[in-house]
Structure 1
Amino acid sequence: MAGGTTCPRMTERFDCYNCKESLYGHKYILREENPYCVKCYENLYSNTCEECKKPIGSDAKDLSYKDRHWHESCFHCFQCQVSLVDKPFAAKDDHLLCTECYSNEYSSKCTECKKSIMPGTRKMEYKGNSWHETCFICARCQQPIGAKSFIPKNDQYFCVPCYEKQFAMQCVQCKKPITTGGVTYREQPWHKECFLCTGCKQQLSGQRFTSQEEFPYCLTCFSNLYAKKCAGCSNPISGLGGAKYISFEERQWHNECFNCKKCSVSLVGRGFLTDKDDILCPDCGKVI
């Protein structure tokens, strides 16, 4: 945009692009290389002030915010009327407010210090409460938690390392805190990955196990190490999980292995005879 009163030679016409009035001896404004008298330019292109609803003239400073415009003298706080020129401000319901008025009316109050959290400053929020970043601190180490993970307890907030030191149970095996999950065995806490079979060292969490002299064993290791052997198939008899077995004179059999040595008929619940280490049904025993 440019304006002035200097005109071309008097022999040429130099008129307003809109109203065609001569611009000789008058102030004019160029827009896209076309000359306009001041009145036409302002009628066509001037913005309307949001405050006073009057055009913002070509010789006035036009202040804009989100496609809205104000005279410099009209750009002030909606509540206290202080000028907002070259000052921070906030918008609420189409009104402009200085930071102090906005803070008093609308800003969140810090749960810790009870002061307003000013617009543009970082705040921490949790379950409907707000804090200044510097006020949201660990109850144990008193350091700002910031964007780090935290754990609430009894209306207090702890960074994870402090919570583990103060509250978390420690694993019997590795002596480190148990923060999630865990296994309880004989009223003592274990990490799942630390609760292992005494024999094969496989994890016992999530599977059946038993114990011998207070040491935990998976069923396979327990059977191999401590279970009695079946006199029929020589495999371990664990007796775990309600498995049934037959016992006779310090010998044991799986139910399915307690059969006549000669005809293989099951002797479970039946009478039987013995021939040295063999067991026989009454029929086969007659021919001994």
Structure 2
Amino acid sequence: MPFKPIQQAKCPKCGKSVYAAEEKIAAGHKFHKGCFKCDMCNKFLESTNVTEHEAKLYCKQCHGRKFGPKGYGFGGGAGALGMDKGERFGNKECEMGNKPTGDSFSGAASSSTGPKCPRCGKTVYDAERAIGVNTPWHKSCFNCNACHKTVDSSTMAMHEEEVYCKTCYGKNFGPKGFGFGQGAGTLSMS
């Protein structure tokens, strides 16, 4: 019986043989410890943060940027408002098949139909609409025009179709004169 040498597994990243002392296993493939890193950001991976797509390794954050849902509110965990696709890590493709058409991401006013945000002039879709106001606003645009503090329907004041927090509204448009703005009990008529 002829001797057959054992075929060593090849690392999908570098194509070289992987020996038992230096192997990391993910998605049924053996990788070198030095090759076991994210294909986008080059961060070294552990079994707790590795994800695989078509024999390529990604950290969970980059995998979400590249292959996860795209749009307002996705990409960074609970409460995140972003559209980060990982361009700074070299991600050029977008896996979103239902990407809106038109100028909605170009910075110019959108040509699509639907309600427009009073501040930026772009179309306001239901997923990005500020709740509690009758006029449609983007969540990211619905802040004080003066100090940019986040407001909601109970902490906002409107003036000439712009939104202000109650503090800035009082400073800019409230009553003026002796005794105003000093606090309770300071109004003087003398």
Structures share fold, TM-score greater than 0.5: no
TM-score by length of 2: 0.34
Q: Rg bigger for which structure? A: 1
Which of the pair is proportionally richer in strand? Answer: 1
